[in-house]
Amino acid sequence: MSGGWTRKRFWDNATVTGAPDGYLIELDGRRVNTPAKRPLLVPTRRMALAIAGEWAAQGDIIAPLTMPVTRSANAAIDKVAVQREEVAALIAAYGDADLLCYRAEAPEELVRRQSEAWDPPLFWAAETLGAALEPRTGVIHAPQPQAALDALSGRVHGYDAFRLAALHDLVSLTGSLVLGLAAALDWRDADDIWRRSLVDEHWQQAQWGADSEEIAREAMREAAFRHARDFFDMC
């Protein structure tokens, strides 16, 4: 395909072909390009097969929202790869204001829930990533130890554009660099990590209730989180 999205299906078969630096997807023998007209060249056969499957599953009219792997790969190539250092710096900056480090002073039950959910991933980050972040009460920013931030930044900057595209979503959706890395590195399963990111929201819902729009938004965010983790694994 020579351009971006087209509205009508124009091919019969979607296939994967090897290339020197990865894998390409072809539609009836024609190479698929990104919206910016770069080759849709992906790092693993698993990812390429997933993308080819999305194209093969389309009906007469292409529905981009049903093609999450294609969209993430496009973003990695067209957006992240061309500004990799900036994206990595943006992600790494979450470490200095990580959700897990900002604790409530009261009520006691919320304090307990935050500690039970957030202390274990902080311990994991200290032991596994060499990043000992320090929790504190209140919402006023206080800088984290530079050694911890450097360890986290080094880890983030070591990822390629595809992994950064996935990590960006894992981190922004949870509000936590630690939880994003925990998801990427399989510290716990997706359900466990996602629940830990929602301690405050679920506390508020328990006190005041949740409307249907709020529940729908949370479901959409969870689906995006799960996709980002799957995409990271495909890399």
CATH number assigned to the domain comprising residue 141: 1.10.3580.10
Co-location of 101 and 40 in the same domain: no
149 plus 182 within the same structural domain: yes
In-domain check, residue 229 = yes
Closest CA to 172 of 151, 156, 150, 158: 156
Output the pLDDT for position 18: 96
The predicted pLDDT at position 138 comes to: 86
Distance CA(45)–CA(52), nearest Å, equals: 10
Q: What CA–CA distance (Å, rounded) separates 180 from 165?
A: 12
Same domain, 11 and 100: no
> Could you tell me if residue 111 is left (phi over 0), alpha (psi between -120 and 50 degrees) or otherwise beta?
alpha
106 and 56 in a common domain = no
3 state DSSP class of 38: coil
HEC string of 122-164 equals: HHHHHHHHCCCCCCEECCCCCCCCHHHHHHHHHHHHCCCHHHH
Contact predicate 87/81, CB 8 Å: no
| Residue 213 shares a structural domain with residue 106 | yes
Structural domain includes residue 73: no
Per the structure block, which two tokens stand in for 132?
A: 């000992």
Count of domains observed in the chain: 2
Residues 188 and 96 occupy one common structural domain: yes
Q: Which residues pair with 136 in a beta bridge?
A: 102
Examine residue 72 and state whether it is found in any structural domain, yes or no.
no
Please report, in tens digits, the pLDDT of each residue of the chain (235 residues total). 334 445 688 899 999 999 999 999 999 999 999 999 999 999 999 999 999 999 999 999 999 999 999 999 999 999 999 999 999 999 999 999 999 999 999 999 999 999 999 999 999 999 999 999 999 998 889 999 999 999 999 999 999 999 999 999 999 999 999 999 999 999 999 999 999 999 999 999 988 888 889 899 999 999 999 999 999 999 9
User: Range of 46's domain?
Assistant: 1-66
Contact 178, 130 (CB under 8 A): no
Q: Would you say residue 199 lies in a domain?
A: yes
- Residue 34 burial (CB count, 10 A): 20
pLDDT value for 206: 86
Q: Is there a cis peptide before residue 145, judged by omega within 30 degrees of 0? A: no
Shared-domain flag, residues 38 and 91: no
Q: Are strands 102-103 and 136-137 parallel, antiparallel or unpaired?
A: parallel
